[in-house]
Structure 1
Amino acid sequence: MTDYAKLFRLDGKHALVIGAGSGIGRESALALSAHGAQVTCADRDLAAAESTASTRDLTIAGELGAPDISAYQLDILDDDAIIRAAAELDPVDVLVFTAATNVRKRILDYTNDEFDRVVSLNLRASFQLIRAFGKQMAERGSGSIIGFSSIRGTTVEPGQSVYAATKAGLVQLLRTAAAELGPSGVRANAIAPGVVETPLTAQIKANPAWYDAYAQKGALSRWAQPSELAGAVVYLASDASSFVTGSVLAVDGGWTAVDGRFDPPN
């Protein structure tokens, strides 16, 4: 009989969170740890990763047998660094990657260097992470890969071309991973956030009209906090989603469900 009280527990699992130094990655790492996982907080900024690792509730961290949470410096634009991490770290049961960048420009204004920068981090690095850690998971016969797409993977606006293309591409990359690695017991899913207050969206928050327009687009009429994405990560990492793979979980406050910004009269 299934013990539903433990459905979301991650005891005995090792989760690697890429981009754990801030925003959604930081909250994901803390949530996974709170549910019993051993967590490695990986980030290009080691000090930021260490800050996340040291934030965990001291009463939890001090308990006998509490899972370990540690920091690891990792630049995912460096292929060799990814390969080295896969060899150095304890076997990874849950891979979460949140790191992304965006250059908000119209297509005709984009430079080749800007295109390469966005694609390299948002898509190519994801490809390398899936290959390095997915291979190990497949060899062990289990694992969960969780990547962060976006509402921009399905809905676009002017100035979001390359970012949107990478987020749509990531969905298809994860679906293919689900198809190829599924027979080996590995699941792969995407989370598609709406507007979330993170360092990546600081430019929008600084413009009140832009910020308010985005807030009103969703059904909940507000922005999300990074912590509101953590539940989706725990779900996809845990046995609660044991039959979920190749899926896109929208955590967007109803953004992609609501048609337009005008509320017509009855």
Structure 2
Amino acid sequence: MSETMTDYTGLFRLEGKRAALIGAGGIGREAALALSAHGAEVTCLDKNPATAKSTAAEAGGHARELDITNAEAVAQAAEALGDIDVLVLTAATNVRKRILDYTPVEFDRVVALNLKATFTVLQAFGRQMVQRGQGSIIVFSSVRGFVVEPGQAVYAATKAGAIQLVKTAAAEFGEAGVRVNAIAPGVVETPLTNQIKENPDWHNAYAKKSALARWAQPSELAGAVVYLASDAATYVTGSTLMVDGGWTAIDGRYTPPN
């Protein structure tokens, strides 16, 4: 008795899928465009309504203002959007300071968005998906969830925490058919990294840290989003997909002279 042949030609297509993209600038913009290009109907959500509208217009989708640090607003958005097949969360913030210089207000601000709001989004949209018995949730973490440097304590802690939230959600939602994964970028040319880019020495040091010896463009993260959203990843859950140019694969770089 022969096995049923899989049609691989449409494995990455997303026709008929409804996607919600939270954090519509930078990487989020590229993710929205990629999801739309593969056939998904995209709703862009962002604290800045202009950003949401701009990306939605480019992606041929819908826009909605949303502050994910407001749990009630997140619950209302999940309810209003209804049957979402794919959820992508890219929103994050960072305050680069050493532990001894951090203020309680700064700590609370980073944790509120990067960790607490991630939990809130997983809870609200995960509830809808579990009830339907299907869905893919994609949360953006970072290489800082694995490796650190001075000045990254709180950001790194929240990104490591996000990975553990993803794993737990995958374990809890899996029996209902809902997949939950993380993407961990390396250094990407986005507004969040402006502080680094403004210092040439710092910028070049980061570039040389990866195996590819360069920074990533936001568009280079979009393929990972499409993969995890699509039927190409139906048996992938609880995972963290590294899109870091080999940053976490190597321990420094030294190229000896010929």
Task: Please give the TM-score of this superposition, normalised by the length of structure 1.
Answer: 0.93
The gaps in structure 1 that reach 5 residues or longer are 62-68
1:53 and 2:31 are equivalent in the alignment: no
Name the Cα RMSD after superposition.
1.1
How many angstroms apart in 1 are the aligned matches of 2:48 and 2:170? 30
The question of whether the paired residues in 1 share the 8 Å contact of 2:82 and 2:128 is answered with: no
1:194 and 2:179 are equivalent in the alignment: no
Q: Deviations over 1:128-160 (max 9, x none)?
A: 000001011011111101000100000000000
Match of residue 9 from structure 1: 13
1:208 and 2:200 are equivalent in the alignment: yes
How many angstroms apart in 2 are the aligned matches of 1:93 and 1:80? 21
SS in 2 for 1:41: strand
Residue type of the alignment partner of 2:28: G
Match of residue 138 from structure 2: 146
Match of residue 88 from structure 1: 80
SS in 2 for 1:168: helix
How many angstroms apart in 1 are the aligned matches of 2:12 and 2:33? 14
The question of whether the paired residues in 2 share the 8 Å contact of 1:122 and 1:166 is answered with: yes
The question of whether the paired residues in 2 share the 8 Å contact of 1:193 and 1:251 is answered with: yes
SS in 2 for 1:40: strand
Match of residue 97 from structure 1: 89
SS in 2 for 1:134: helix
The equivalences for 1:88-237 within 5 A come to 88-237=80-229
> Out of 10, 17, 22, which is 1:18 matched to?
22
How many angstroms apart in 2 are the aligned matches of 1:211 and 1:79? 36
Match of residue 42 from structure 2: 39
Identity of aligned residues (%): 69
Residue type of the alignment partner of 2:107: F
Residue type of the alignment partner of 1:156: V
Residue type of the alignment partner of 1:243: Y
The gaps in structure 2 that reach 5 residues or longer are none
Q: Deviations over 1:94-144 (max 9, x none)?
A: 110000000000001111111100000000000000000101101111110
How many angstroms apart in 1 are the aligned matches of 2:129 and 2:172? 12
How many angstroms apart in 1 are the aligned matches of 2:98 and 2:254? 26
How many angstroms apart in 1 are the aligned matches of 2:189 and 2:162? 22
How many angstroms apart in 2 are the aligned matches of 1:166 and 1:219? 25
How many angstroms apart in 1 are the aligned matches of 2:121 and 2:52? 18
Task: Please give the TM-score of this superposition, normalised by the length of structure 2.
Answer: 0.96
